[in-house]
């Protein structure tokens, strides 16, 4: 558990008069830097193509998050064989949604945060991400944090996919942290197992990832702690009752 000792204020010169900054007194916790809890994280894969680079990137992401002390599960639309979105889970009558969607819905609700790994398609995030996340209502994701990881085989690192993911994730309620882990020329960076290729600056890449995932830990830990104290849905319930959203079954 991290804390700041308010008694240890030091004065530093500012442009006008004096300003105060704090010396942090930090105790140990999971993660080693005093700021983080162990989080339950879902990593969503955004590619279904054969020989996809997403597998390389996600292997590195999962290994890194596990090394930081988190419980990680991959959501792979290829392995789950998710259907094309026809209607979201909440639009089915109780118990009528496909089993794969009901099981994934419970995992999304139970998670503390999310990592989205996406290539850039047509200057936006991949349709695979939209199809996967679109099956579930925002209340499943709400009051949690997320991180964005993008990549490309070219020089732009999928950054336009990241920019379009920001409002999308925000509207779901899983607020994306500011630092993005983006990888340009991904085929030159990672081996198929997610290790770095010879000649890559491992420490530099690890530093980029640490900034992104460090922010996820800070925000995710704060949200997790507060959810344990206050039920967020007591003051911010879903806009419409779920039973009012059921679509009539076809005859």
Task: Return the pLDDT at 247.
Answer: 55
**For residue range 8-48, what is the model confidence (pLDDT) as tens digits?**
333 434 434 433 333 333 333 444 454 568 999 999 999 99
DSSP state of 250: P
Band (236; pLDDT cuts 50, 70, 90): confident
pTM for the predicted model, two decimal places: 0.81
> For the segment 107-158, what is each residue's pLDDT rounded down to a tens digit?
999 999 999 999 999 999 999 999 999 999 999 999 999 999 999 999 999 9
Full DSSP string of 164-223: HHHHHHHHHTEEEPS--EEESSGGGTB-TTSPBPTT--HHHHHHHHHHHHHHHHHHHHHH
Place 231 in a pLDDT band, splitting at 50, 70 and 90. Answer: confident
Please give the domain boundaries of the chain with CATH numbers for all domains: 38-222 (3.40.50.360)
pLDDT in tens, 148-200: 999 999 999 999 999 999 999 999 999 999 999 999 999 999 999 999 999 99
């Amino acid at each position: 558990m991290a804390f700041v000792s308010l008694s240890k204020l030091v004065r530093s010169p500012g442009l006008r008069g004096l300003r105060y900054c704090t010396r942090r007194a930090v105790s140990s916790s999971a993660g080693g830097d005093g700021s983080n809890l162990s989080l339950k994280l879902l990593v969503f894969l955004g590619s279904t193509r054969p020989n996809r680079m997403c597998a390389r990137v996600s292997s590195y992401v999962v290994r890194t998050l596990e090394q930081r002390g988190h419980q990680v599960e991959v959501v792979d639309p290829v392995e789950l064989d998710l259907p094309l979105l026809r209607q979201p889970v909440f639009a089915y009558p109780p118990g009528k949604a496909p089993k794969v969607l009901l099981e994934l819905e419970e995992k999304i609700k139970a998670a503390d945060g999310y990592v989205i790994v996406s290539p850039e398609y047509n200057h936006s995030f991949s349709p695979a991400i939209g199809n996967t996340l679109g099956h579930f209502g925002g209340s499943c994701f709400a009051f949690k944090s997320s991180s964005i990881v993008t990549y490309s085989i070219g020089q732009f690192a999928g950054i336009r996919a990241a920019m379009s993911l920001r409002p999308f994730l925000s509207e779901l309620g899983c607020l994306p942290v500011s630092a993005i882990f983006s990888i340009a020329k991904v085929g030159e960076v990672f081996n198929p197992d997610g290790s770095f290729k010879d000649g890559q600056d491992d420490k530099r890449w690890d530093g980029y990832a640490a900034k992104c995932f460090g922010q996820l830990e800070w925000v995710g830990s704060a949200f997790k702690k507060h959810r344990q104290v206050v039920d967020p849905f007591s003051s911010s319930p879903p806009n419409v009752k779920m039973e009012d959203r059921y679509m009539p079954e076809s005859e």
